[in-house]
Amino acid sequence: MSTNINKPSLPVSKPLTLGLFGFGVVGKGLYDVLQSTPALQASIKKICIKTPDKKRAISQNHFTTSSEELLNDDSINVIVELIDDADAAYEIVKAALKKGKAVVSANKKMIAAHFEELLQLQHEYKTAFLYEGSCCASIPIIRNLEEYYDNDLLTSVKGIVNGSTNYILTKIFENDLSFKDALLQAQQLGFAESDPSLDIEGHDAANKLTILLAHAFGNIATPNDFIYNGITSIKKTDTILAHEKHLKIKLVATAQKINNNQLAAFVLPQFVEANDELSNVSNEFNGLITESSFADKHFFKGKGAGAYPTAAAVLSDISALRYDYKYEYKKYLQPNKLTLTNDYFLKIFVSADDLEKINKDDFEWIEEWHNEASNNWVIGIIHATKLQENDWWKQTGVSLILHQNPIVNNVEYKKIGKRSLQLAGVI
């Protein structure tokens, strides 16, 4: 056997000196993870924190409260932003990119709110801004959407993108825990946001859907552009009904191509059948299903919240920076992108403690109608604009849960119109 083969040598990697903002659940997680990966040759030079008096696991001389100390230090070539204040995070990221430093962040709220400007800054200052940890924590979805699905024609990306709400729903369904106790556990385990209403009201999942829309379809949107809600309105009677029908309820984010040039997007609780991949995504796990013309279907599952799963994604971004990796946003830059629309029909279940709270006139078609003293529900077809424009379905005592196959064929229901309601004697 010949031993004279010229082996390729490893590409030369850049040494990375990090300035870390934030030492909360994920910041501390990253610190620990970096201690276990010396081969990465990335070291934290300084950590900027807000509250200096807090007792911390490592020596005080690692910390400063001056953001300038990190931003003005030329030896720091990477800023890692892991704080929970989206506005402050935006200022830090902007300043760092303007100084030509690469930035890694996991701040989905900040990214969703400033997507276009952040794109512009990366382009103008030719710096990398990576944020794999901002969406589904340990699932490498952004990198896959950027690289693997580059030439493939994606038709849909949907799944469970918030770990806390999935944890709560799992505990309610499988352990009969109360919503309050399950949320408390999610907070204690470090899954929830500092302000947990971001999780339970669906804002966090909506922010993540905007990130998915950008990388999957090149579509820059804000959560206000699509319908979303969280899980706070789901009632005991809804979960009992789901059990009876052998279904689970999951908070599902969906981006789906609905015709040649349009895209539907929403985040809503949804009934999920036992044979759906998402049915077995439990606790803080997230799960994503991509569908595309040639590859067909892929299913990604991984821990979607918590110190180490999120730190793992941040670490992967830091590692990619050693070889100057940048997102290219090819789908955003290409012409003829799909347009986000609310012109589609959804099959929904709506329950209410008082029948009067359900706006029957908004439905195109009512398939089932159940009327009891304190448990009234309707299954029917509604146009998405009715949900976007009206908020009767967000009142206390009303819950809206999507059918297991929520998007229905536009044309069919446009033809039928309101006739079914009249025939059923509802209007």
Residues that bind ligand HSE (CB under 6 A): 137, 162-164, 191-193, 199, 204, 304-305
Residue 236 to residues 178, 278, 376: CA-CA distances in angstroms? 9, 21, 13
Please, which residue, 254 or 376, has the CB nearer to ligand HSE? Answer: 254
344: CB partners within 8 A, 6+ apart: 258, 262, 264, 383, 384, 407, 410
* Token output for 13: 């990697």
Report CA 28 to chain centroid distance, whole Å: 22
Please, which residue, 196 or 380, has the CB nearer to ligand HSE? Answer: 196
| Minimum distance of ligand HSE from residue 32's CB (angstroms) | 17
Give me the residue whose beta carbon is nearest to ligand HSE: 164
| Minimum distance of ligand HSE from residue 81's CB (angstroms) | 14
Please, which residue, 313 or 366, has the CB nearer to ligand HSE? Answer: 313
Smallest Cα–Cα separation from 89: which of 115, 64, 109? 109
| Alpha carbon distance 62, 47 (integer Å) | 6
| Alpha carbon distance 72, 95 (integer Å) | 10
| Minimum distance of ligand HSE from residue 176's CB (angstroms) | 21
Please, which residue, 40 or 189, has the CB nearer to ligand HSE? Answer: 189
Please, which residue, 202 or 304, has the CB nearer to ligand HSE? Answer: 304
| Alpha carbon distance 45, 104 (integer Å) | 15
381: CB partners within 8 A, 6+ apart: 345, 346, 347, 348, 363, 364, 365, 367, 408, 413
* Token output for 119: 């794109």
| Minimum distance of ligand HSE from residue 339's CB (angstroms) | 28
| Minimum distance of ligand HSE from residue 306's CB (angstroms) | 8
Are the CB atoms for 141 and 161 separated by under 8 Å? Answer: no
130: CB partners within 8 A, 6+ apart: 102, 103, 104, 105, 317, 320, 321, 325, 326, 327
Side-chain half-sphere of 282: how many Cα atoms within 13 Å? 9
Please, which residue, 191 or 271, has the CB nearer to ligand HSE? Answer: 191
Smallest Cα–Cα separation from 332: which of 221, 206, 255? 221
| Minimum distance of ligand HSE from residue 113's CB (angstroms) | 15
Provide the Cα torsion 235, 236, 240, 245; round to 10°: 20
252: CB partners within 8 A, 6+ apart: 158, 159, 160, 267, 268, 269, 270, 272, 278, 402
| Minimum distance of ligand HSE from residue 167's CB (angstroms) | 7
Please, which residue, 191 or 377, has the CB nearer to ligand HSE? Answer: 191
| Minimum distance of ligand HSE from residue 188's CB (angstroms) | 13
| Partners of 62 in beta bridges | none
| 86-98 and 115-125 helices, crossing angle to 10° | 20
Please, which residue, 90 or 191, has the CB nearer to ligand HSE? Answer: 191
Q: Which residue has the tokens 């994606």?
A: 154
| Minimum distance of ligand HSE from residue 240's CB (angstroms) | 26
Please, which residue, 162 or 270, has the CB nearer to ligand HSE? Answer: 162
Please, which residue, 193 or 201, has the CB nearer to ligand HSE? Answer: 193
| Minimum distance of ligand HSE from residue 182's CB (angstroms) | 12
| Minimum distance of ligand HSE from residue 304's CB (angstroms) | 5
Please, which residue, 253 or 400, has the CB nearer to ligand HSE? Answer: 253
DSSP H or E run through 115: helix 115-125
